[in-house]
Amino acid sequence: MEALSPDSLVTIDAEAIRTLNLQALSAWIERPLHVLLDAGAVLELRYEWPREVDDPRELSECPEPRLWALRADAHYPWLPLLLDRSGGSLAQHVAMLVPHDFSPSEGIRFDPQALELWITHRLMLLNRLGSSSDVSGGQRGNLSLMAASLGFELDGGFWELLDQTP
């Protein structure tokens, strides 16, 4: 397997957040999509956003990092497939995009309807991208794992329905 970057950790500093600069992702984005997707969910994003010590908000509640994440997601809609699932990078990224509540005892609780809409849209988009690009074998297994890691179960007929549609 080709090495993706010297480090799977990408730091997004405050200046990049303020200016919506996506350059921190360049080492990843310059690679062919099939190479990125074949590597799996290994990318971790770390945001360096200054907050006051007494600021009770979670990072995903701060508008500036959310705007950066929205821009990154708009430019690279397949980014969630690269994000580490077990370490929380995927959940944090989705929290930047989808309405949710946060509880110190329960963690992130996504709005169920918002999460369903986001995941369904993302599955359709990435399934089409996978079938129309140089991505071998599509990405349905990876897409299903991404959805499951966010607590979303796919209906067994979901992919069949998409296959029936021209």
pLDDT at 4: 43
| pLDDT beneath 50, residues of the chain | 1-6
- The gap from C-alpha 149 to its chain's centroid, in whole angstroms, comes to 11
pLDDT at 134: 60
Residues 100 and 85: their CA atoms lie apart, in Å, by 18
pLDDT at 137: 55
Tokens of 161: 């329905």
Of 111, 75, 77, 74, which is closest to residue 95 (Cα–Cα)? 111
With contact defined as beta carbons under 8 Å apart, do 119 and 155 qualify? no
pLDDT at 51: 93
pLDDT at 135: 62
Q: Length of the chain, please?
A: 166
Between the alpha carbon of residue 125 and those of residues 27, 47, 75, 104, 109, the distances in Å are 24, 26, 13, 33, 24
How, if at all, do strands 44-47 and 107-110 pair? unpaired
Between the alpha carbon of residue 76 and those of residues 103, 121, 157, 161, the distances in Å are 29, 14, 27, 26
pLDDT at 12: 97
